[in-house]
Amino acid sequence: MSDGRRETRWGWFRRRRGRVALGLAATLATVAALVPVATAQGTGDGPLQQVRDATRRYRDVDSAIDAGYVQFLGCVHEPLAGSMGIHFVNGTLAGDTTLEPTTPEALIYEVQPNGRPALVGVEYIVFQEAWDAQHDQPPSLFDQPFMLVPSPNRYGIPSFYELHAWAWKANPTGPFEDWNPKVLCLGTEGHSP
């Protein structure tokens, strides 16, 4: 190869290295943006993956309705803490004392800017009176204790134990915390797409 050709190849590289650098930067930015999503969605291990596997069919809210889940109240929001979203509750499941990781009593949806609901998590629910009549300790799943919501409460129902699992939308405060600051209640003060 002649010296002239080498200069021509290096000249080509020098002229295009700005484009190559921009392309590389864009590729790295895309990969970096996808990594947190993959982490939030899980990699196939742990209790959240078990919940995702069991509730995948309910990503379409019509499938949840067909399975007996009905909307309970509107979008639940707590200023400065976050939101829970819109709960679809299966009354049969909520009325018993069986707690099964693969059959949550409630599915939680967040309305997207396009108006479609997206599954973001689940909630396990059991009424305190029924549970306490059969058990000496409060319920737990995934090594997580349930929280007691006494009556009277904002939902207008008897005292109940509950545990959230944010299987479909990561919660920066923890996967089993009640309020998720990343969940929006569109139309609520401070929440816009």
pLDDT reported for residue 189: 57
Q: How far apart are CA 159 and CA 176, in angstroms?
A: 20
Q: Which of 165, 187, 184, 186 is nearest to 176 (CA)?
A: 165
pLDDT at residue 43 in the model: 39
- The more confidently predicted of residues 13 and 47 is 47
Question: Do residues 106 and 95 touch, judged by C-beta distance below 8 A?
Answer: no
| pTM score, whole prediction | 0.75
* More confidently predicted of 21 and 192: 192
pLDDT score at 186: 83
Q: Max Cα separation, the chain?
A: 91
Position 37 pLDDT exceeds 80: no
- The whole-angstrom separation of Cα 153 and Cα 137 is 22
Tell me: the pLDDT tens digits for 56-104?
999 999 999 999 999 999 999 998 899 999 999 999 999 999 999 999 9
* pLDDT at site 192: 59
Structure-token pair, residue 181: 């600051």
pLDDT greater at residue 30 or residue 188: 188
Contacts of residue 49, Cβ cutoff 8 Å, sequence gap at least 6 = 42, 43, 167
Q: What is the pLDDT of residues 135-149, one digit of tens each?
A: 999 999 999 999 999
34, pLDDT greater than 90: no
Residue pair 117/86 in contact by the 8 Å Cβ criterion:
yes
